[in-house]
Chain A
Amino acid sequence: MEARDLLPDYLLGQLEPEEARRLEEQLERSPELRAELEALRAALFRLPDQLAPVTPPPRAWQGIQARTRRGRGVPWPWVTGIAAGLALVFASFGLYEWQALRALRAEQAKVAHWLSEPEGKWRAIKNARGEGVGTMIWLEDGGCLIVMKDPAPEGKVYQAWGRKGDKPVSLGVFRGRVYETRFEGFERMGVSLEPPGGSAQPTEPLGSVSVS
């Protein structure tokens, strides 16, 4: 049997391994045979065109997105950079401040947990001068973590805000550097400095990021 007669069987995976190997050797040597194979392949893979397309459920694409992003992973330089930053912060507090250290360790654990989330998105929170004052991390499930560069100054607290349209909505106050909240329903998330107890409106906005 001539090699070209074997091409349909080869495309359909019907040849014995030894037969397939011999045909592949001939394909290597013959551009005409390769062209014939590709023409037959093109015809064979037109078969699915006879089927009416069916819209997959939306979750199918979301699943693909999650898996391709997981494959990319979190960039390690960022992880090590932030971890190193936290280590410096630890050092500056001193071991005798046991309670503070425990709080910081809890923060570090929380940050490490969030950084390990493959679907996490993050963006720097910058002030009006373009200086980074913190980082916002958010997940597809609606969770959001705010990590500030420094603790709130003496006599002040941070206040988290969500904004949809013109109306800011308070999401709570915090004194430490790390604060966990939720972002769903908002277009922007921001942080301001406020007197203890917080304010009805942001009085000293520090910066905000788009999360839509």
Chain B
Amino acid sequence: MEPDSDLIRQVAQGDETALEELYRRYGGKVYALLLHVLGGREEAEEVLQDSFVQLYKEARRYDPQRGGVSTFLFTIARNLALSRLRARRARPQKVLDHDLHDPEQELGLWHEHDPTDRVLVQRALAQLAPEDRRLLEESFYWGYSHSELAERHAMPLGTVKTRVRRALLRLREFLEGRVREGGE
């Protein structure tokens, strides 16, 4: 399989086939992220398109020293989604329930989907203190500021900052395998 870094180089030269391959690899993941952040299918689909069009236009800006292609793409998608949330000044009330009767919705059937990554991340997140995890996820997915989180969770601002930082540092340690499950 052609590495992502080769594909993005080809996209930077205007190769639509390489863009399609990246879409095949990551479209389902980006769409899942956008459904999670935005809560509605129509808006998620619009931002999905915006994300890949922006990837196409800005592929030249990709710097491998700043992470993988998926990180670059998720950064674009998250920024666009958070801009939408800011524009409408409201976060989704709840995460969208997928409609199992919708023929366009093939849950978990994305091509060549490898569940290994998902299980790894889920297990790493399960190692975090539940409150730390919630704060990190609300900050990442919905762009809540520290002060908003402090108000939502009735916590001192300093505690929120400490917990969010700790959550990310711990997540990194678990994902890098520096900490075993259940402790140090």
Contacts and interface: CB of A to CB of B under 8 A. Distances in A.
Interface string A1-18: 000010011011110000
A64 B32 contact: no
Interface residues of A, number: 39
Interface string A37-62: 01111111111111111111111110
B107 A64 contact: no
A72 interface: yes
Contacts, number: 145
Contact of A8 (B45, B98, B169, B175): B169
A8 B164 contact: yes
A194 B121 CA distance: 68
A57 B104 contact: yes
A20 B137 CA distance: 22
Nearest to B161: A9
Contacts of B53: 64, 67-68, 71
Interface in B139-184: 139-141, 143, 145-146, 161, 164-165, 168-169, 171-172, 175-176
A77 interface: no
Q: Chain A interface mostly helix, strand, loop or mixed?
A: helix
Contacts of A47: 121, 125, 136-137, 140-141, 171
Contact of A60 (B16, B45, B141, B168): B45
Which size class do B's interface residues fall under?
A: 35 or more
B8 interface: no
Interface of B: 14, 16, 19-20, 23, 27-33, 35-36, 45, 48-49, 52-53, 56-57, 65-68, 70-71, 74-75, 98, 104-110, 113, 117-118, 120-122, 124-125, 136-137, 139-141, 143, 145-146, 161, 164-165, 168-169, 171-172, 175-176
Given A55-B28, A65-B16, A71-B56, 19 more contacts: A8-B168, A13-B143, A14-B145, A41-B66, A41-B71, A42-B68, A42-B71, A46-B171, A46-B175, A47-B121, A47-B125, A47-B140, A49-B120, A50-B118, A52-B107, A56-B48, A58-B104, A60-B49, A64-B19
